[in-house]
């Protein structure tokens, strides 16, 4: 009778230890997984920001080149208009 009780108690302790180990491993796995996901998200956010900055710089450069191109075209057209006025005055 005592052997049977002792065996049951030992089996129960073994099951408890196995369950504890399983839970501990699962908790460690989840912790490492969360850390990896967080690190991956941080890298992604950093790269996203870098791409966005690059895109904005490209846009600004395009806007500046268009604006300076338009100014340059206006200056040329003003010069052309001024030349034709001067030519007309010289002809008159």
pLDDT tens for 26-56 read 999 999 999 999 999 999 999 999 999 999 9
Determine the Cα–Cα distance for residues 15 and 23; give it in Å rounded to an integer: 12
Determine the Cα–Cα distance for residues 83 and 80; give it in Å rounded to an integer: 5
Q: Show the domain range for 5.
A: 1-92
Q: How many domains are there within the chain?
A: 1
* pLDDT for residue 68: 73
**Helix, strand, coil distribution of the chain in percent, nearest 5:** 100, 0, 0
pLDDT tens for 71-92 read 656 655 555 555 555 554 455 4
How many Å from the N-terminal Cα to the C-terminal Cα in the chain?
134
Torsion sign, CA atoms 28, 30, 35, 39? positive
pLDDT tens for 3-28 read 999 999 999 999 999 999 999 999 99
To the question of pTM greater than 0.95 for the whole model, the response is no
């Amino acid at each position: 009778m005592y052997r049977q009780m002792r065996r049951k108690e030992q089996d129960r302790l073994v099951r408890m230890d196995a369950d504890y180990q399983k839970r501990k491993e699962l908790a460690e796995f989840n912790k490492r997984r969360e850390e990896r996901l967080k690190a991956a998200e941080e890298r992604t956010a950093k790269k996203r920001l870098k791409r966005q900055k690059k895109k904005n710089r490209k846009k600004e450069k395009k806007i500046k080149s268009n604006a300076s191109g338009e100014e340059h075209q206006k200056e040329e057209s003003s010069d052309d208009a001024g030349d034709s006025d001067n030519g007309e005055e010289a002809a008159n």
